Structure 1
Amino acid sequence: MATASELLNATRNDPGQNSLITIEAADNVAELSPWADDWAALTDDEKARYLVMATEDILDQDNFPSLNLDTDQMYNLAASCTVYQAIFLSINLDEINDAMTASITGATSLSGPVESKSMTGFSVRRAVSPYVRRKLGMYCDSTISIVRSR
């Protein structure tokens, strides 16, 4: 059976494309980020899985309804944002899953020792990195907001 990294397809416009960026290119982008060590600690299979999930998030029309990847500039921006989203997912997956569980069971807030997070109808598809939201913000659904209370 093929591994996740072997199944990663970042060939632009290929019908089987499941990532906007290769692992090698993602490594180069991540190397310049504050989370370089977190990314480097992942195996290639973990990176591939997160890149596929992140690509789905970036291409999700609910998150970025007016994102158009027809130009190289926009495609490259989305590809680099895919890396930041993959890192965000790798670091925050447990919290995202907790938020999903709370939403499913009807809880309206999650409290931790440091802060409280309030959410209603949370969707994992809406769990987008603040960095990615900032970079692709003009393509966002502006009705979505994340509020942190102290």
Structure 2
Amino acid sequence: MEDNTGHTRTVVIAMDSSPCAKKAFQWYVTNLHRPKDHVVVTSVVHVRDAFTTEQWQSLLRSIDSDMLSANAEKYRHTLELELEDLTTMMKQAKVSGRIEFVHSYNARKGILAVVEDCKANCLIVGSRGFKMFEKGILGTTCEELIQTSDVTIILCPN
């Protein structure tokens, strides 16, 4: 059944700059893509990523407005480059949809907010393939998504 925009499915693909995320996108294009799909490529943005650990600790001690401005500008530029890369990737694959950056301290919550907002039919994520020992201690975004999502999740292993 088509929605009022002519799309039959809404697919969210969680992306970051990792090779496994790009592999998941490519897997979607090769194995699941339909011309009437509406794809929402989403990337979670963390403000803390704009700072090194040392800079973040320094910021907590005292506000250095010059450092804050310089890092914010640098991070904005990084996000612009990521947007260009994602746009090119979607155009080359002839995938229609949009790119959505979402700010969230927790990647799982940010991704699931996008899934809910766009009423996605499925979510595609790439897995970095942590070893069982690491996964048991650290937990992974993929594992959290599988445990908490109400939509079908397709996990593309690395």
Tell me if both proteins adopt one fold, taking TM over 0.5 as the criterion.
Answer: no
TM-score computed with the length of structure 2 as normaliser: 0.24
**Bigger Rg over Cα:** 2
- 1 or 2 for the larger relative contact order (CA 8 Å, sep ≥6)? 2
Query: Greater share of strand residues, 1 or 2?
Result: 2
TM-score computed with the length of structure 1 as normaliser: 0.25
